[in-house]
Amino acid sequence: MKRVVVTGLGAITPLGNTVNEFWENILAGKSAAGPITKFDSSKFKTQFACEVKDFNIEDYLDKKEVKKYDMFTQYAIAASDQAIQDAGLDFGQMSEEERYDVGVIWATGNGGIGTFESQLKEFNGGEGTPRFNPYFIPKMIVDIAAGVISIRHQLYGPNYCTVSACASSNTAIISAFDTIKMGKAKIMVAGGSEAAVTEASVGGFNAAQALSKNNENPQGASRPFDKQRDGFVMGEGAGALILEDLEHALARGAKIYAELVGTGMAADAYHLTGTHPEGLGAVLGMSKAIKEAGIEPQDIDYINAHATSTGIGDISELMGIKRVFGDHEVAVTGTKSMTGHLLGAAGAIESIISVLSVQHNVIPPTINTTELDEAVPAGLKIVLGKPLYQEVNYALNNTFGFGGHTATSLFKKYKAD
């Protein structure tokens, strides 16, 4: 089996439109939440979100091209371009045959929901013959970002989209890992994007009682594990990772951020939107990832928890962690307290956080959490308020999605043999 390493990163996030800016703001404990600017939210129960700011797609695309793509694809183009450049890859200098071994697996939960909404409004509000934009379907469908990235760089390897709700981009990373590990590609562009700060999305999650309604204090609204938490905060953006066959990376002299050594996918098989009360899916996902890596639970230094700031979800995940790790005092953080919940893109940006944690030996904080819920299991080292500087050799990233989907990725500090 091939070994798989991370050689490039790219990020478009509510906390910055480059990986460096994003990471600096994560370590500084900044909240990206603020009033919604993308539509009039005054009639909604939730009127705030973590929006991407100062994003200019024309830094990446010709102005004439922009109209072809929904915002989720625009975010995907920007993040993947960054990751490819960061990895030192120049696909234009590769032969066509070499690019047969480069693929793209790109995730989203909602795809072009903004395009879908705008087209339906135009359809319903129009007079005479109903007309749709010729780009309506290719802007909306969930697989299009993966296709656009491959077309943009002429990459002929495996190409598809993974959709597993909020576990989508972690699932994409796992699928890319498996593809390389089995020798079916040498380089994979993996990640996810989401642009779901829209009326239908906010209204729908409000109806499901999932979003925080703390309109008086948006920056303090996302508070994982806190006694006063009242739901998640919507986020948007994209994260991209370049995964590469270790031998190929070494042969071209690539810099290596970390090694991906274990993955786990499972199902709660419990409820349409809720997680198993004892964290069964989390237990299975983490256990599988640890087993595949060939290590023990006590080897794990850091868990980037899914931790959306919902009542049942936060506690069930911590119960699952306790079941897997027992008395091992593993550090746990909920970085959605800063970024909000990027839905299908969450796993990708949190994988970036996990990779950088391993590289820099620092664990980011959970912000806004002032009083832990009494149901939080004893013995867990939840990092609050400020970063924790310690050796990080192994970092786990948990993601869960509506429908009971579980995806866990495990990153290891890379050390040359």
Active-site residues, by number, are 166, 306, 341
Cβ contacts of residue 335 below 8 Å, gap of 6+? 26, 304, 307, 350, 353, 364, 366
Residue 80 CA to residue 91 CA, distance in Å, equals: 13
Residue 365 CA to residue 3 CA, distance in Å, equals: 30
Residue 264 CA to residue 283 CA, distance in Å, equals: 10
Residue 326 CA to residue 290 CA, distance in Å, equals: 14
**316 phi, psi to nearest 5 deg:** -65, -35
Which residues does residue 278 pair with via DSSP β-bridges, in sequence order?
none
Residue 360 CA to residue 283 CA, distance in Å, equals: 27
Task: Specify burial of residue 93 (Cβ count, 10 A radius: 0-12, 13-18, 19+).
Answer: exposed
Which residues does residue 406 pair with via DSSP β-bridges, in sequence order?
266, 400
Cβ contacts of residue 141 below 8 Å, gap of 6+? 111, 112
Torsion of CA 64, 68, 73, 74, to 10 degrees: 20
Residue 140 CA to residue 112 CA, distance in Å, equals: 4
Residue 68 CA to residue 296 CA, distance in Å, equals: 48
Cα first-last separation, the chain: 16
